[in-house]
Structure 1
């Protein structure tokens, strides 16, 4: 028999539980609206590379707030899928610089409206002011 402290109402007093549940909802909406092949982190990488072509893997990892092995795997997957081109960094031979391929730019353009739809769905019950406040609070939590 479930303990009364295990109910969603009891767990909702814990920030971690709410964040986890919000993330689960985000993943479910992402899968239904955007893609089962491109994750939200991969999409974010494509957006960053669109805005700052030629950054290196370390810089991309810093922007995404992921560790070195994660960014190496993520980059390898994007390269393997033909979305990103990786070449030696002329300033540091131990590093790679990254650029979107034509296919990466096309994929990004196709996904962007779907990602905006995820945003709309996730914040549908919030006023624009509440949505801005949620983003502000989450950013403060992560700072």
Structure 2
């Protein structure tokens, strides 16, 4: 049966439209609750470097699921903002290893409760089981292995 384009909720029948709208809501809540300066991807980079200090730029890009150009720009911006520092990789001289700076550690500690608040706001109408199911379903939309 063809989709009726004059229905008010026609776009809610498309997964992509719902994902886009959910992402827009996430960005809006992020900006109001967390930061206009630190993006959610930068925050994720801070968390990864907290858990895995000394990873190289390629590994960080893989963990964040971003391409080489994007990770290079992200790292350069975070170095400029003194959130992370890069050092020559002792194993591969063509690569850098990355670490949080004291300012990066402080920023992470400041932002973490705000990020948890974003999670609470976004999922407030869901039960715990529904939150877990939502994460499972969203992960299922990603290529395997992620």
- Partner of residue 114, structure 2: 114
What are the equivalent positions in structure 2 for 1:78-97 lying under 5 Å apart?
78-97=78-97
CA distance in 2, matches of 1:84, 1:78: 6
1:14-54 residue CA offsets vs partner (Å, 9 max, x unmatched)? 00000000000000000000000000000000000000000
Unaligned runs of 5+ residues in structure 1 are: none
Q: Which runs of 5+ in 2 are unaligned?
A: none
Question: What corresponds to 1:27 in structure 2?
Answer: 27
Structure 1 residue 9 and structure 2 residue 5: aligned? no
Deviation at 1:5, TM superposition (A): 1.8
- Cα deviation, residue 8, structure 1: 5.4
Detail structure 1 runs of 4+ shifted over 6 Å in the superposition: none
Q: Please report the RMSD computed on the Cα atoms of aligned residues, expressed in angstroms.
A: 1.1
- Per the alignment, in what secondary structure is the counterpart of residue 36 of structure 1? coil
Cα separation, partners in 2 of 1:105 and 1:5, compared to 1, 3 Å: same
Which has the larger share of helix?
A: 1
TM-score, normalised to structure 2, is 0.93
Aligned-partner Cα distance in 2 for 1:10–1:20: 14
How many residue pairs match? The answer is: 140
Distance 1:98 1:7, change over 3 A: farther
